[in-house]
Amino acid sequence: MPDITPAEQFIFAQEHARIETGPVLDIGVGAGRTTAYLATVAGQYCGVDYSPKMIGYCRDRFPGLEFILADAADMPMLASGSFAFILFSFNGIDSVDHAHRLRILGEVRRLLAPGGRFAFSAHNRAYRDIQRRPRFRRPLRLRGVARTGVEIANHLRVRRRAYQCDEYALINDPPHLFSIITYYIGRGAQIAQLQAQGFRVVTVIDADGRAVSDGGDETASPNYYYLVEARA
């Protein structure tokens, strides 16, 4: 499966029957990385993104499929209990603040059909190699120095928005040249958050596509996928 991560391969194999019968909702679809696989398997497919540019691109790339411009926290055009499987991939849920994240989880729970499942990935707060500030790259080259200069300027502007508490942290990290804040949460805190939102955790998968246990090393994986279902 080209462009599908090891963790996604694990989930898609485990949930094949549910995906095949559909309908499937693909949140944060971007340029259609997961569409290329899911739309060939799912009985019915719908992609969602908040970027008009990405939705337009996907409509051109995948004619005949349904793509909706919407915020994942507010999708009133989609009926409650209508999806057998929902995906929010590539740590997309980490691009919003805490309150927005909880609204997304609530909206996903509304949209899940009885027995349906939701899979999403999230940055791991316990990961040992989180980069919290720009670094000069060796050997030093003009282009690299210029890039690092932009990163430093962005970091100085954005870092004041960083935040941490017992449950999660908002970290100014490398994507987009240190111009954004990203949500990080540990495995135990994410499980507790999901339970508080009415989900039951089925499986947690590390970045290498392996199911993890409570006693596993939490510092080794940069992110986790969570496969959950709504509690009755």
Categorize the per-residue pLDDT at 224 as very low, low, confident or very high, splitting at 50, 70 and 90: very high
Q: List the chain domain ranges.
A: 6-125+186-230, 127-185
Q: Which residues contact 17 (CB under 8 A, 6 or more apart)?
A: none
Q: pLDDT, tens digit, for every residue of 33-89?
A: 999 899 999 989 999 999 999 999 999 999 999 999 999 999 999 999 999 999 999
Position 140 pLDDT exceeds 70 = no
Q: What is the model's pLDDT at position 2?
A: 61
b (16+ CB within 10 A) / e for 182-219: bbbbbbebbbebbeebebeebbbbbbeeeebeeeeebe
Residue 91 makes CB contacts below 8 A (sequence gap 6+) with 121, 122, 123, 182, 223
Residues 4-38 have pLDDT tens digits of: 999 999 999 999 999 999 899 999 999 999 998 99
User: Alpha-carbon distance 85 to 46, whole Å?
Assistant: 11
Can you tell me the mean pLDDT for 162-178?
Answer: 96
Residue 106 identity (one-letter amino acid): G
What are the tokens at 91? 């740590």
* Residues 124-137, mean pLDDT to the nearest whole number: 92
What is the structure's pLDDT at 145?
Answer: 83
Mean predicted confidence (pLDDT) in 102-122: 97
pLDDT at 169: 98
β-strands 66-69, 83-88: how paired?
unpaired
Return d(Cα 54, Cα 73) in angstroms, integer: 18
pLDDT tens figures, 201-211: 999 999 999 99
Question: pTM score, two decimals?
Answer: 0.94
Long-range contacts of 167-172 (CB under 8 A, 24+ apart): 167/98, 167/192, 167/193, 168/98, 168/125, 169/125, 170/97, 171/130, 171/132, 172/132, 172/133
Q: What is the CATH T-level fold of the domain 6-125+186-230, as seen in this structure?
A: Rossmann fold (3.40.50)
Residue 136 above 90 pLDDT? no
The token pair at 172 is: 């100014």
